[in-house]
């Protein structure tokens, strides 16, 4: 069986075993492959996405475009007072989560250091804008499907196909390479987020998609996640969604 068939087999088993299951989609390349595979297995599987106010405009636009094109019916979770205009305009289901805790943390950092929270304490920023919303998104689920891969970077080499962090996590493309993902998307006519196709000085590219202030382009010889939180102790690391218990 090839990698693609094995991935689908894993998803099929998970869907049969856990009726309360959904796919997480960041709208990065790995998520797009995962969500496409999952919907080949179960066309009605729910899709959710954790967005933050710091995601680039292109991500919201791409989300809207692919949501419509692939009929994903995505539910977006975001810490914000208002639905981002492009999501509102296109009627994307959006769950707004309270902003108080994030605003208080951001104000404190600004008062103390005169900087943004993601510059001083990215772990706190990720906890409030990503981990807590992920907890909300999975609270009624028994399992979720994610696009983690072992070759993405130092924090993902030991990840397993099935994990348990308060609920079951299934990683069906765990042993796919970056090239496997890109080939799969091309073969299935799934366009990439526009950030992946930009070439930056020195031939650098964005190879892992995150929030705008925490994502930089990198060289092809680097590991994919090395452009995340560049210049901080969290460089190439994790936001916490995949390392913390969500229930």
Residues 44-83 that bind ligand SF4 (CB under 6 A): 52, 54
Q: At residue 53, what are phi and psi to the nearest 5 degrees?
A: -65, -10
Pairing of strands 143-145, 93-97: unpaired
Number of other CB atoms surrounding residue 231 within 10 Å: 9
Give the 3-state secondary structure of residue 80. Answer: coil
Contact status: 28 vs ligand SF4 (CB under 6 A): no
CB 21 within 8 A of CB 144: yes
To ligand SF4, the closest distance from the beta carbon of 37 in angstroms equals: 26
Residue of the chain from 64, 143, 167, 214 that contacts ligand SF4 (CB under 6 A): 214
- The reply to whether 25 belongs to the active site is no
Chain centroid offset of residue 140 CA: 19
Residue of this chain nearest to ligand SF4 (CB atom): 211
Distances (CA, A) of 17 to 12, 33, 137, 145, 237: 9, 22, 20, 13, 31
Residue 210: how many other CB atoms lie within 10 Å: 24
Name the catalytic one among 25, 125, 146, 239.
239
Query: Based on CB atoms, which residue is closest to ligand SF4, 33 or 125?
Result: 125
Instruction: Give 125 or 185: the residue with its C-beta nearer to ligand SF4.
Output: 125
Among 24, 170, 174, 211, binds ligand SF4 (CB under 6 A): 211
**Options 213, 216, 230, 235; binder of ligand SF4; rule CB under 6 A:** 213
Mark the segment that binds ligand SF4 (CB under 6 A) among 90-98, 117-125, 131-139, 165-173.
Answer: 117-125
Sign, CA torsion 72/95/239/42:
negative
Distance CA(156)–CA(162), nearest Å, equals 13
For the CB of residue 9, give the shortest distance to ligand SF4 in the complex, in Å: 33
Catalytic residue annotation: 239
Please give the residue ranges that form the binding site for ligand SF4 (CB under 6 A).
Answer: 52, 54, 118, 122, 125-126, 129-130, 210-211, 213-214, 239
């Amino acid at each position: 069986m090839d990698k693609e068939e094995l991935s689908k087999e894993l998803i099929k088993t998970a869907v049969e075993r856990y009726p309360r299951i959904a796919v997480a989609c960041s709208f990065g390349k790995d998520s797009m492959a995962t969500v496409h595979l999952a919907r080949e297995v179960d066309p009605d599987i729910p899709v959710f996405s954790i967005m933050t106010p710091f995601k680039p405009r292109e991500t919201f636009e791409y989300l809207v475009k692919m949501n419509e094109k692939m009929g994903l019916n995505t539910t977006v979770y975001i810490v914000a007072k208002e639905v981002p205009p492009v999501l509102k305009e296109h009627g994307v289901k959006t769950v707004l989560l309270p902003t108080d805790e994030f605003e208080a943390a951001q104000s404190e950092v600004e008062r103390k250091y005169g900087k943004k929270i993601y510059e001083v304490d990215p772990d706190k920023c990720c906890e409030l804008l990503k981990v807590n919303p992920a907890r909300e998104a999975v609270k009624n689920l028994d399992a979720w499907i994610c696009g983690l891969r072992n070759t993405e970077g130092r924090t993902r080499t030991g990840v397993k196909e099935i994990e348990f962090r308060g609920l079951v996590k299934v990683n069906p493309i765990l042993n796919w390479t970056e090239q496997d993902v890109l080939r799969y998307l091309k073969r299935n006519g799934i366009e990439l987020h526009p950030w992946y196709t930009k070439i930056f000085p020195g031939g650098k590219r964005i190879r892992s998609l995150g929030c705008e202030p925490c994502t930089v382009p990198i060289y092809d010889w680097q590991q994919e996640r090395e452009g995340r939180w560049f210049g901080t102790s969290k460089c190439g690391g994790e936001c916490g969604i995949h390392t913390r218990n969500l229930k």
